[in-house]
A and B are shown apart, each in its own frame.
Chain A
């Protein structure tokens, strides 16, 4: 074509003096893939266009400003409503708790978290082993912790209750600076034996040992065996420079420039990681808090890689520090209706100790933490006035979940300590919005999370019209 004479009937590649496009990138550059690409990418095309809100700066080492969240799932159907004692619609004790393992309606109560009722003492012994565990392991954190119980029916012994809010938490902006969300159960997107409410999270890093976290941040594979540390750092630098050169074309428009920054950030941090001798993910190596954390969790440098307490400590620590997104911890053994109270009490104690340690870790690190405790179903006792009657079968209609929120600045006041209520039939009330639906209950929990973050403006955007204003005011307790 003669210079200066533009023939608009020629394809773009010819107009701009390039050779005929032959590969995918060149077709893109020639704008000839637009239609076909749109056809092929319908579900996730929106993901390709980063919004103006997309992060344009490298996340700081402390990660997101949203409150860290740790969920604890008690797999099997724990007696959560026989630890926290649910009340009726008027806030009064039920006429009887005799199939909930607590006897008649005159259950002795032990108040904690301000004025939250737990199954109290008989002959000087606390009935609620969950509370006992909390008190044992969170000696300083409890004073700054608020508690809300959620009355909700759920399916017994099932992985399909939609209790997990991991996807919503991530979508609200709680993501890790170094690591994705952390989970425990292989093959589960939520990292635990619960299904997702509203949004599925991206796959978590499954933590089977401290090495799972360390390994995620280190070079391994063939380069781990073949290249030395200096060569690995040089490799990261080469990849960084290469990707920078290749992604530079992204910077041509404003929203895409944000993506370019994000890609640069990932590459830069990759280089940083390759050069680091300590990635700061092992709580035992944190000079500031290691001694206190070791004491709280009962761990040391000699603790075995896959030891439960070390795994939970590492998951909690990295979530609180901002290295990771939400942590999803799971404890097994809660399908404990074996005609005794012994097994159930022992496991409830472990649950309380675990949650207590999480709260105490937050106190040690002086970070807030939102803890969400769930189970799948619940249990029933023999019908008895015994305050410790034995667990004999599943009874998901008497289910509950818990919200605990630790704030270093002091205990947050709550508008009541119970979402929904129990009926005289000793079951979560189905006629309340969250009573019969784990997913609705999870949304209510998420609403409280957003409220604590002063981010209620995200609620409608993320969950749609799950609750109208009136219902929202009934479920938000912070």
Chain B
């Protein structure tokens, strides 16, 4: 057996355990064990290209995943939003079932979590915060330049996607900062509400993006 084969075997075994443990919290459907049992002894398992493994998280999985990565409690508002939208979210994992109302539903649900996250962290002192320790919640976006917001967004990506923003994604958030601040008129940019809105915007973007909603 080659080193590569040993590596693949170990990684596969390890990841089976890892995924079994980590997926338990977000599966609302059959327990993993039942899926494994349903394979039966004679099932042929085929290895194939990596692209096959993209699928959508179900609505329930998304709700649990969003709770997990944001660390916020599932409030009545979140439950109501989920109940109102769950019919629009995936329940069959098929990426081909993705449609615009589904994305709207996911974004609406994401925004509930993000709103709770912003509220929760705005009440903490900077060192106590997990996501937004660089943000001054008493000030508007005028006090938070693009670079600072990008740094915070990069941290959100790390905590939500498990990785930092990549080059193109960084540019997208630089552009979105410009788009968002361009909508602020009068004294809105100095109001602390604009900062909360921008954080909500970026957080909702990440939780609604392809990498978060797919498995």
A122 contacts chain B at the CB level, 8 A cutoff: no
A243 contacts B by Cβ under 8 Å: yes
Question: Is A239 within 8 A of B183, CB to CB?
Answer: no
CB pair B12 A35 closer than 8 Å:
yes
B204:A223 contact, CB within 8 angstroms: yes
Contact with A along B86-115 (1 / 0, CB 8 A): 111011111111111111110111111011
Complex Cα spacing A385 to B35, Å: 59
**In contact, B12 and A239 (Cβ under 8 angstroms):** no
- Are A27 and B94 closer than 8 Å at their CB atoms? no
Q: Is A287 an interface residue (CB 8 A)?
A: no
CA distance A412 to B40 in the complex (A): 49
One of A5-13, A123-131, A348-356, A399-407 at the interface? A5-13
Contact B101–A179 (Cβ < 8 Å):
yes
The secondary structure that dominates the B interface is helix
Q: Is the CB of A266 within 8 A of B197?
A: no
Our pick among B90, B109, B176 for the contact of A221 (Cβ within 8 Å) is B109
Are A243's CB and B108's CB within 8 A? no
Would A33 and B11 count as touching, CB distance under 8 A?
Answer: yes
A274 smallest CB distance to B (angstroms): 8
Nearest-Cβ distance from residue B57 to partner chain A, whole angstroms: 12
Number of A-B contacts (CB under 8 A): 255
- Report which residue of A29, A41, A179 has the largest number of chain B beta carbons within 10 angstroms of its beta carbon: A41
**Segment with Cβ contacts to A, from B128-136, B144-152, B161-169:** B161-169
- Asked, given contacts A36-B16, A39-B45, whether A241 binds B51 with beta carbons under 8 Å apart, the answer is no
Q: Is the CB of B3 within 8 A of A238?
A: no
Q: How far is the CB of B135 from chain A (nearest CB, A)?
A: 16
**Which B residues are CB-close (under 8 A) to A32?**
7-8, 11-12, 15
B51 touches A256 (CB 8 A): yes
Contact in complex: B45, A38 (CB < 8 Å): yes
Q: Is A431 an interface residue (CB 8 A)?
A: no
Q: A24-B162, A202-B97 are in contact. Are A11 and B111 (CB under 8 A)?
A: no
**Residue from B20, B99, B211 whose CB has the most chain A CB atoms within 10 Å:** B99
Contacts of A204 in B (CB 8 A): 87
With CB as the reference atom, state the residue of chain A lying closest to B168.
A245
Which residues in B have their C-beta under 8 angstroms from that of A215?
A: 84
Asked if A346 is at the interface (CB within 8 A of a chain B CB), the reply is: no
Q: Report yes or no: B4 in contact with A12, Cβ–Cβ below 8 A.
A: yes
Q: Which chain B residues (183-207) contact chain A, with CB distance < 8 Å?
A: 183, 193, 196-197, 200-201, 204-206
Q: A8-B4, A42-B35, A262-B98 are known contacts. Are A230 and B183 too (CB-CB below 8 A)?
A: yes
Most buried by A among B11, B39, B100, B166: B100
Output the residue of A8, A23, A25, A204 with the most chain B CB within 10 A.
A25
Nearest B residue to A35 via CB reads B12
How many Å from the CB of B200 to the closest CB on chain A? 6
Q: Is the CB of B211 within 8 A of A246?
A: yes
Whether, in the assembled complex, B48 has its beta carbon less than 8 Å from a beta carbon of chain A, the answer is: yes
A49 to B, closest residue via Cβ = B52
Interface residues of A (CB under 8 A from B): 8-12, 23-25, 27-45, 47-50, 54-55, 178-180, 202-206, 215-224, 226-228, 230-231, 234-239, 241-243, 245-247, 249-250, 252-253, 256, 259, 262-263, 266-267, 269-270, 272-274
Measuring CB to CB, which residues of chain B are less than 8 angstroms from any residue of chain A? 2-4, 7-8, 11-13, 15-16, 19-20, 23, 30, 32, 35-36, 38-39, 43, 45-55, 77, 81, 84-88, 90-105, 107-112, 114-115, 162-163, 166, 168-169, 172-173, 175-176, 179-180, 183, 193, 196-197, 200-201, 204-206, 208-211
A-B pairs with beta carbons under 8 Å apart, 10 shown: A9-B2, A35-B8, A41-B35, A47-B93, A47-B96, A226-B197, A239-B205, A243-B208, A250-B51, A274-B104
